[in-house]
Structure 1
Amino acid sequence: MSISIQNVDASNVSQLSQIDVGNAVRTARESYGYSLDDLAVTCGLTNREISDVEIGADTDPSKIRRIAAALQIAPSEFLSI
């Protein structure tokens, strides 16, 4: 079974967190020159929510999709960075 942001459910969240999506999110954000504040304004999440995603404490697919949309990249990019 392949894992993508679209097919994540409660049964495979632990698999997703093992892929280190948080580090990929941080890397993408920094490569675009966004601060946490910049990304928060752009995607409508709070700094804390983004920080939780980046440290791997939150792997909510809807938040990851919002971050990807704000960075104008496909959510799957976080699985391959």
Structure 2
Amino acid sequence: MPNTVRNAVANDIIAASGLNPLKAARETRGYTIEELSLTCGLAVGEIVDIEDGKDADPAKLRRIASALQMPEEELIRVPSTENRPTQQ
């Protein structure tokens, strides 16, 4: 699939219910795991581990987000301030 088509996919349709956000983003943009591996420079196994929830290395997630041309925040969830414990 040409990159122009991949880039035109809106982020709204990525939120497929029941799918890992990375897998949903990858599939929505038309990438196979092998293609994403070549694009971001990670091994296929590393991407599989991330999609399976076994690895959440922020550096790897940043590389994947860049390869998929999407905001890092879509893959790297930072806890909101209301969920953080307060210091007293």
**Same fold by TM-score, threshold 0.5 exceeded?**
yes
| Misfit runs of 4+, over 4 Å | none
Mark the structure with the bigger radius of gyration.
2
Report the alpha carbon displacement of residue 78 of structure 1 after superposing the two structures with TM. 2.3
Larger helix share, 1 or 2: 1
Distance 1:35 1:44, change over 3 A: same
Q: CA RMSD in A?
A: 1.6
Q: How many aligned positions are there? A: 59
The structure 1 residue matched to 2:56, chosen from 54, 59, 62, is 59
Work out the CA distance in 2 between the residues paired with 1:75 and 1:54: 15
**Structure 1 unaligned spans of 5+:** 1-21
TM-score, with structure 2 as normaliser = 0.63
Q: Percent identity?
A: 47
Tell me which of 56, 63, 71 is aligned to 2:68: 71
Unaligned ranges ≥5, structure 2: 1-18, 78-88
Structure-2 separation of matches of 1:63 and 1:50: 9
- RCO higher in 1 or 2 (8 Å CA, sep ≥ 6)? 1
**2: distance between equivalents of 1:56 and 1:63?**
13
TM-score normalised by structure 1 residue count: 0.68
